[in-house]
Amino acid sequence: MFISKSLAKKLRHPASVLLRDGVDKDGIPKIVVRQVKSAWGKFEPTGRQGGVCFSALSDGTTQTIYAGLLGYHTGTEASIQPLILNDYFWRSKMPYNDWPDFLRQAAEKLLASRADTDPRITASKLTTTNYWFCDKWYGNRLSFVRLRDAKKAAREQIGESVTIFSNKTGNIVCFASASGYCPPCLPYERTKYIQYPERFPESYHLLFRGYFREYCILWLR
């Protein structure tokens, strides 16, 4: 959830939130809308020390942390960005081409939950992604509607910076600051680099084995 101090305040007033409510018989996640009854905890950037209360879900749950929300609608502002970021994990649970319709239906359901919806907010605007970058640990492509959300997500990435691209042109939009954290050296295998021995006579391939993927770099000596 891309929570901010101002958004946390807005969610303390009447607002609608998008939530996961189990799965259907085919294992596809079910999305529901609930009206916020009250808020609890405090604001902090991770969204894990505060949240909202709502009418019970099918399992009896009546509250969740901000980070557990899949979207929100305050009347003048709405987003389903957290739901969009589930693309990699949830798309595999349904026919591949059903994902866009799944997002559109979720957006329409969220917008229909309030009579005071700003007419400029449409399902198309909530689901059309304009920016993307690749997760620097898993390697997944992460898509975003708003540039500000892409920059917020970049702050959680490893390394010093993240390159954000335009969905429309494929061009680089900006270099956003990352977390600044670089993992300690991972176990690696060293092999002689033989593709151009005349150019790199004392060079090696270093294959780093992480938890989820492998990295291979050329080490020049």
The pLDDT assigned to 205 comes to: 47
The pLDDT assigned to 180 comes to: 83
The pLDDT assigned to 14 comes to: 83
The pLDDT assigned to 210 comes to: 47
Task: Write out the DSSP string of the chain.
Answer: ----HHHHHHTTSS-EEEEEEEE-TTSPEEEEEEE--EEEE---TTS-SEEEE-S--TT---EEEGGG-SEEE-SS-EE-HHHHTTHHHHGGGS-GGGHHHHHHHHHHHHHTT-TT--TT--HHHHH---EEEE-TTT--EEEESSHHHHHHHHTTSSSSEEEEEETTT--EEEEEE-----PPPPPEEEEE--SSTTT-TT-EEEEEE-SS-EEEEEE--
The pLDDT assigned to 10 comes to: 84
Residue pLDDT, tens place only, 103-130: 999 999 999 999 988 999 999 999 999 9
The pLDDT assigned to 202 comes to: 52
Residues of the chain with pLDDT under 50: 193, 200, 204-206, 208-221
